[in-house]
């Protein structure tokens, strides 16, 4: 039997990764998921994505070489209390838990390679920005496996683990900042007289097009902003309003606070 990709945890991030893997052509039979107690949630994932589910963590480890830890960070101790009996050095554990360092997972194990990943929900449509950091036992084979897995789901970068809290704040939480901006654009468009659907379509494709232009031209966002901004024009007037309201400062503060919260999460986890 071909080895599966196992998931421990069945929340929103797990589903985004599963949906992306299915969209990338991974057979549903090669994905197996378990969670702590919500059988109905597993049934929903099975119906939606045609994957295998189980209430038995031993089965996940038996069938899978790569196991993705996708539970809540606060549930790590309970989950690893079971998994430690089934995980060996043949496995690769990939943690997508905010605030949990590789060493925080390794301390439950005996030489099992651990990699920390921070994807975002756009993995569901193969457009995630994913950062990878490597634990002490992760060799080139394991690094290549993680890069291949998340490379199917979007763009990957390697970072030092010390940078992962900032990555969490920027790329992990970042989609929420963009959605809030889009909400404001749509509401403002409606206030200016556009229908809700027209405002939504224009805001959505404006954000999409702006991001694609950065990617496909390789241009600096600041340079593209300057190209769009004519002296005395509508864009300049709009940007002045954003500056007066402290737009950039608010974004900086958002990333700082999210980084600090990621750091705090690592200090409140129970010891093994």
Sheet holding 128-134, edge to edge: 52-53, 31-34, 4-8, 64-69, 92-95, 114-118, 128-134, 154-158
Q: Span 85-103, mean pLDDT? A: 93
* Predicted confidence (pLDDT) at residue 272 exceeds the cutoff of 70: no
Whether the pLDDT of residue 1 is over 50: the answer is no
Between strands 128-134 and 114-118, the pairing is: antiparallel
- The answer to whether residue 270 scores a pLDDT higher than 70 is no
Residue 131 has pLDDT above 70, yes or no: yes
pTM over 0.85: yes
Q: CB–CB of 31/21 below 8 Å?
A: yes
Domain with CATH 1.10.3730.10 in the chain: 174-263
Which residues of the chain does CATH 3.40.50.720 include? 4-159
Question: Which tokens is 233 given?
Answer: 């024009």
Average pLDDT over residues 133-140: 96
Count other Cβ atoms within 10 Å, centred on residue 196: 11
Residue 113 has pLDDT above 50, yes or no: yes
Please state the CATH superfamily assignment of the domain spanning residues 174-263 in this structure: ProC C-terminal domain-like (1.10.3730.10)
pLDDT at 134 over 90: yes
Residue 94 has pLDDT above 50, yes or no: yes
Which residues are within 8 A (CB) of 177 and not within 5 positions of it... i.e. 6 or more apart? 251, 254
What pLDDT score does 2 carry?
62
Q: Which residue has the higher pLDDT, 38 or 139?
A: 139
Write down the pLDDT at residue 269. 56
What is d(CA 159, CA 157) in angstroms, rounded to the nearest whole number?
6
Percent with pLDDT over 70 in the chain: 97
Average pLDDT, the chain: 93
**What's the average model confidence in pLDDT over 37-62?**
93
Work out the average pLDDT over 191-215.
Answer: 97
Specify whether the CB–CB gap between 225 and 243 falls below 8 A: no
As a whole number of Å, the end-to-end CA separation of the chain is 34
Q: Using CB atoms within 10 Å of the CB of residue 164, give its burial: 0 to 12 exposed, 13 to 18 middle, 19+ buried.
A: buried
CATH of region 4-159, choose from 3.40.920.10, 2.102.10.10, 3.40.50.720, 3.40.50.970: 3.40.50.720
């Amino acid at each position: 039997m071909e080895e599966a990709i196992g998931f421990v945890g069945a929340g929103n991030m797990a589903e985004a990764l599963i949906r992306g893997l299915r969209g990338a052509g991974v057979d549903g039979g090669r994905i197996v998921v378990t969670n702590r107690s919500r059988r109905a949630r597993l049934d929903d994932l099975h119906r939606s994505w045609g994957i295998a589910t189980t209430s038995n963590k031993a089965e996940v480890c038996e069938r899978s070489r790569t196991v993705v830890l996708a539970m809540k960070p606060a549930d790590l101790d309970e989950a690893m209390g079971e998994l430690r009996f089934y995980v060996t050095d043949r496995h690769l554990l990939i943690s997508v838990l905010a605030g949990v360092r590789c060493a925080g997972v390794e301390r439950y194990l005996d030489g099992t390679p651990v990699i920390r990943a921070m994807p975002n929900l756009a993995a569901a449509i193969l457009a995630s920005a994913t950062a990878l950091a490597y634990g002490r036992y992760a060799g080139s084979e394991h690094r290549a496996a993680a890069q291949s897995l998340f490379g199917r789901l979007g763009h990957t970068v390697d970072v030092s683990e010390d940078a992962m809290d900032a990555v969490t704040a920027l790329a992990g939480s970042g989609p929420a900042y963009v959605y809030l901006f889009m909400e404001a654009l749509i509401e403002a468009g409606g206030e200016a007289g556009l229908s809700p659907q027209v405002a939504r379509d224009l805001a959505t494709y404006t954000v999409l097009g702006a991001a694609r232009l950065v990617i496909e031209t390789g241009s600096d966002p600041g340079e593209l902003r300057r190209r769009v901004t004519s002296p005395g024009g509508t864009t300049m007037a709009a940007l002045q309003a954003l500056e007066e309201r402290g737009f950039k400062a608010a974004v900086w503060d958002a990333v700082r606070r999210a980084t600090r919260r990621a750091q705090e999460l690592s200090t409140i986890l129970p010891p093994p």
